[in-house]
């Protein structure tokens, strides 16, 4: 799988073209067998928590409790859940302006995250970062970022440091398909190959770069072809199938830990909401979102749980997630704002 293979970098496409575009959504249930029940329930529980968190964020933004912009990841829960399920506590990740799901899946506390969005002292960054700058270094969460592609070189640096430390850690950089046009993408991916560092580039292709459909936005190589041209393993998977994501990421992460260098994975998914909360999405066809509802990650997981006789357990996970997030909102809203006298703390010239 490494980039130094005599056969060249691996390029794989698991069932659909990886050239960006709003393609027909997959609709099959997650492939699960009776032996997969507990694992699937565990992943469903994480996705349910992300969904409940994002829905609460949307409501609280509309109520005026969250200032600035927020970007939710409803519809992309399987990508975050499956990818982070392949990681260890000591691994690193960088995320984007749409990073709540990645942070939750990596283990961040929902109450502390919500407090950060509300600008409270008990937030993950003491209320200084907000939605687009969530971070929790003790969990390896090196930060969300409001700059497209900016987390990529940070993840490469973290991977270089991890290799130097000899701890066997890997780094994952999450970004959208629009970021492949940025200099940070090409610089980061080029350095990762030159240094053969343990980093996975996880591209969530949700088919929109802000307001621009990726389809037709360029006529160059596909996402996986672009990455493979640098000399690394590059694959494309169904990003709304939590098991497909986890299995693919587990293989890539294991190879990176073994010293086989970086890899790229395209996670084909869909952003059910607009670019930001309140975006009316006039750039989307009327029936497009409805077609993609058939590929909803939670619905597909439930379809796999039904023949296993576990829908009641899924319902219980939904209820637990809703109760957890409601309590997180209440606790976060009751937390104090930072002391105004501390406004210059951690400010550097």
Does 25 have pLDDT greater than 90? Answer: no
**Average pLDDT along the chain:** 88
Does 20 have pLDDT greater than 80? Answer: no
| pLDDT number for residue 214 | 76
Does 263 have pLDDT greater than 80? Answer: yes
Say if residues 206 and 176 touch (Cβ distance below 8 Å): yes
| pLDDT number for residue 24 | 59
d(CA 186, CA 230): 9
For the stretch 85-131, pLDDT in tens is 999 999 999 999 999 999 999 999 999 999 999 999 999 999 888 88
What the chain holds in terms of domains, given with CATH numbers, is 11-26+79-96+133-307 (3.40.50.970)
Does 10 have pLDDT greater than 60? Answer: no
Who wins on pLDDT, 280 or 137? 137
Task: Identify the residue whose tokens are 């691994």.
Answer: 91
The residues, any chain, with a CB within 8 Å of residue 97's CB and separated by 6 or more, are 69, 71, 131, 132, 144, 145, 146
The string of DSSP letters for 93-135 reads EE--TT-HHHHHHHT--HHHHHHHHTT-TTSTTTTSS-GGG--
Who wins on pLDDT, 270 or 155? 155
**Cα angle for residues 257, 250, 161 (degrees, 5° grid):** 30
Mean pLDDT of 317-340: 96
d(CA 101, CA 301): 17
| pLDDT number for residue 290 | 80
Around Cβ 59, how many Cβ atoms within 10 Å? Answer: 13
Mean pLDDT of 179-208: 94
Around Cβ 342, how many Cβ atoms within 10 Å? Answer: 12
Does 152 have pLDDT greater than 60? Answer: yes
Please state the φ and ψ torsions of residue 131, each to the nearest 5 degrees.
Answer: -60, -45
Range scoring the smallest mean pLDDT among 1-10, 176-185, 215-224: 1-10
d(CA 19, CA 217): 10
| pLDDT number for residue 220 | 74
């Amino acid at each position: 799988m490494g980039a130094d293979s005599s056969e060249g970098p691996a390029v794989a496409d698991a069932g659909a073209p990886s050239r960006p575009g709003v393609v027909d959504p997959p609709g099959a249930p997650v492939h699960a067998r009776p032996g997969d029940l507990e694992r699937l329930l565990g992943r469903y529980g994480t996705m349910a928590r992300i969904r409940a968190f994002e829905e609460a964020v949307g409501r609280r933004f509309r109520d005026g409790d969250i200032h600035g912009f927020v970007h939710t990841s409803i519809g992309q829960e399987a990508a975050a859940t499956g990818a982070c399920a392949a990681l260890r506590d000591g691994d690193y990740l960088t995320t984007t302006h749409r990073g709540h799901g990645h942070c939750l899946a990596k283990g961040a506390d929902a109450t502390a995250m919500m407090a950060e969005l509300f600008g409270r002292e008990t937030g993950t960054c003491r209320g200084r970062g907000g939605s687009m700058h969530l971070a929790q270094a003790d969990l390896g969460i090196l930060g969300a970022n409001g700059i497209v592609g900016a987390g990529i070189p940070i993840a490469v640096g973290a991977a270089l440091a991890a290799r130097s430390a000899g701890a066997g850690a890997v780094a994952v950089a999450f970004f959208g398909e629009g970021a492949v046009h940025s200099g940070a993408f090409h610089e980061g991916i080029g350095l990762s190959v030159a240094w053969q560092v343990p980093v996975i580039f996880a591209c969530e292709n949700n088919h929109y770069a802000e307001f621009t459909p990726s389809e037709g936005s360029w006529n160059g190589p596909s996402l996986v072809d672009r990455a493979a041209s640098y000399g690394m393993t590059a694959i494309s998977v169904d990003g709304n199938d939590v098991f497909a994501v986890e299995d693919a990421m587990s293989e890539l992460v294991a190879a990176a830990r073994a010293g086989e260098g970086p890899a790229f994975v395209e996670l084909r998914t869909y952003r059910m909401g607009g670019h930001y909360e309140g975006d009316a999405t006039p750039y989307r066809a009327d029936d497009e979102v409805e077609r993609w509802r058939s590929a909803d990650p939670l619905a597909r997981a439930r379809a796999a749980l039904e023949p296993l006789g576990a829908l009641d357990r899924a319902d219980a996970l939904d209820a637990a997630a809703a109760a957890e997030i409601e309590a997180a909102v209440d606790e976060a809203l009751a937390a104090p704002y930072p002391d105004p006298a501390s406004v210059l703390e951690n400010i550097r010239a």
